[in-house]
Each structure stands twice: as C-alpha cells, then as structure tokens.
Amino acid sequence: MKMSGYFSSKQAGFTIIEIVLVLGVGMIIMAIAIPNLVAVLPGFRLSDGARQVAKDLQVARMKAIAQNRKFRLNFVSSSSYTVQSDQNGDGTIASTENESGPFSLPEGITATPLGATSEFQPRGTASASGTITLQNSNSQQKAFRFPLSDGYRFLSGQETKWD
C-alpha cells in the first residue's frame, strides 16, 4: 500500500535531537579525558627519553667492544647529546670527535649533569662511576648509574629499585 504524502515508511537517518545528544555526550567524555591525557604526557616523554638514552648508551658500549676504541655520550645541553669516540686512536676522546648526533631529548625532558659521561672502554666497561639523571616538567626522574665494573645500570624513580 502506498502512503500518500512526502515521507515513506522506510525513512533512514537520525533526528537532530539524536545527533545533538550524541555530540553532547561525546563532548562530556572528551572534557573528562583530555586533562587526564595531558597530565600523563610528561611521564610518557620521560620514559621515551630514558629508552632513547639507554639505547644510545648500549650502542656506544657495543661499538666500543666491536671497534676496540673508547665511546661516550656527551650532553652538549640539557636537552641534547652527541655520541663521541676516540677516532684517531690516541687513547682520549676530544670534544670534536663526534661519532653521531646531536640527538634531542623529548620535549620537556632535561638531563644533568652536562658534559661528557663515563667512557666505555674497548672491553665494554665504564671508565668511571657517575650518574645521568633525566627529569620531566613534573619533576619525575629516571637515572642511569655507571659503576666501574659492568657498563651502566638503569635506576627508576628515586633510585630505590633496579629496573
């Protein structure tokens, strides 16, 4: 049976009221979620920076062993570093002997202390003890400690547990 009039019985689509309600609920959910997401971003960036530095420390250590020469990371600013090596074989790493870099840390992440870190010897051991500390805008920290015997250790948080 054919209906008279403009609309048929098989209409498709949503009413304006349904669309407004769905958009309103979506906006409420976003208003709750976005501040929480912004609050956790510095922690994600700190973890990303720590993974980046850990990777480059491990690469420097492995290259020291493979190429039988000294390697180190040199923090040229609080947010960037270079990988340096003893390229001329004189037993010391000059500030101009850059292997790669500079590499930037993620936004809002700073490193202390500035300058060269402990050198990795051709046997893969660190030449001196020391600590590199990364910090985000929320004052959360991750640190790397260099013992004399076996490369480096990654310390989490307040340096109370080993990862």
Q: What is the pLDDT of residue 38?
A: 80
Q: What H or E segment, with its residue span, contains residue 9?
A: none
Q: What is the pLDDT of residue 112?
A: 86
String of DSSP letters for 101-139: EEEEPPTT-EEES-EE-PPBPTTS-BSS-EEEEEE-TT-
- The band of 162, judged by pLDDT with boundaries at 50, 70 and 90, is very low
Q: Which CATH class is domain 16-162?
A: alpha beta
Q: What is the pLDDT of residue 154?
A: 59
pTM: 0.69
Q: What is the pLDDT of residue 158?
A: 45
